[in-house]
Amino acid sequence: MDKIEFWKDRGKKIIDPELFSKKAENFALKIAKDNEQSRGVNKRTQLRKFFDEIVSLNMRAKTSPHAWENILPLVHMVTAKAAYAKGRKLISDNFLNFIKESVNQVEEPCDLDVFNSFFESFIGFYRLHGPSK
């Protein structure tokens, strides 16, 4: 799977125009395929836990911008939680890599906001293409 890049131009803060549409849908199809190949991985409720955590951290970053240096380590901790879920065979390698690559792109609050929006788009497409439960 190709790495999902949030920014078309990071310096100018220009988001990839296809990030929330084509790229989110293609990623949802990929994760849905993982579910078909390995039943039990990438259940909607499991992926939703990660999404909910990103939403929570994003809200904290928006309401307390002065606390960013305390929020950023918690964003990175999501990678460890994903590794744990992978160890328990709850998520696929592709989903784990997505979390790792996305977290690695988060340097400032605006990055987390884009990650949050992409994740939201992905969750919508995954509802369409993923498992029914």
Measured between alpha carbons, how far is 26 from 21 in angstroms, rounded to an integer? 9
Residue in 55, 75, 63 with CA at minimum distance from that of residue 120: 55
Answer left, alpha or beta for residue 91, where phi above 0 means left and psi between -120 and 50 means alpha: beta
Question: How confident is the model over 10-50, as pLDDT tens digits?
Answer: 999 999 999 999 999 999 999 999 998 988 899 999 999 99
Question: How confident is the model over 83-122, as pLDDT tens digits?
Answer: 999 999 999 999 999 999 999 999 999 999 999 999 999 9
